[in-house]
Amino acid sequence: MAHWTLGPRDWIGLTMSDYCHLCDTDPCMCGQHGNVTPIPAKKVAPHGGPRGIDEEVRKFVLNSHDDGVRENWGGWLDLLAERFGPDRDAVRNAWSRVNNSLQRDWLLIDDPDGDGPKMPPSHYPQVRRLSKSAAIAEVEQLIVSGGWTVDEPGLRLWQVWRRIPNTVYICIYDALHDMNGRDYLVTTTAPSGKSSQFWYVKP
């Protein structure tokens, strides 16, 4: 069986995720935030809980991928829960951070056209790894072209990403958070004035 060469594995990135508690995926695939009342989340340490298993999760994913395992985000979560359970919340939080770090390190990325497995970038050569400024420019162009408008209902971050073809999710994630932090073009403040988990074009 041919193995992919994935490069250095000794750096553990600590990044935020776009995890959805309703559909149990990262990024959210249900678009139902705000439509139902979620079960109160457990109190965890800042930024998604303790990072004690991050390194082991990263090694497991990369070694399993070398051995031929091919899964998308949710598939990997199921495998990791079997391997590192029983605390699924801790496993999910660790996987969210590790998943983001694998994208930042250009090791495993998402299928740009659907729900295929996470693969090395060479498997999806059409996908662009953008600088933050270039990713912001893509969001700007999406808005200017009418691809995302001020009168639309709020979007989940993954939905914005899907409107910008052939880009890595984490690049659009970083761009949107940077823009929101500067109060520029986009916001997570709902029309009601309340903070939300949805993204809007600023009026």
Cis peptide before 50 (omega within 30 of 0): no
pLDDT value of position 199:
98
Euclidean distance between CA atoms 148 and 187, whole angstroms:
13
Question: What pTM, to 2 d.p., does this model score?
Answer: 0.71
> Could you say which DSSP state residue 121 is in?
G
- The model's pLDDT over 106-135, given as tens digits with 9 standing for 90+, comes to 999 999 988 899 999 999 999 999 999 999
- In this predicted model, which residue has the larger pLDDT, 24 or 79? 79
78: tokens are 């199921």
pLDDT value of position 202:
96
What structural domains does the chain harbor? Answer: 1-125 (no CATH), 132-201 (1.10.10)
Please answer whether residues 93 and 48 qualify as being in contact, where contact means their C-beta atoms are separated by less than 8 angstroms.
yes
Mean pLDDT of the chain: 82
CB-CB neighbours of 80 under 10 Å: 23
Residue 64 has pLDDT above 60, yes or no: yes
pLDDT value of position 51:
61
Residue listed under structure tokens 């995720």: 17
- In this predicted model, which residue has the larger pLDDT, 7 or 64? 64
User: Nearest-CA neighbor of 16 among 176, 159, 188?
Assistant: 176
pLDDT value of position 28:
57
The C-alpha angle 37, 178, 106, rounded to 5 degrees, equals 95
- The model's pLDDT over 14-58, given as tens digits with 9 standing for 90+, comes to 334 555 544 445 555 555 544 444 444 333 333 444 568 999 999
Please name the amino acid found at residue 72. Answer: N
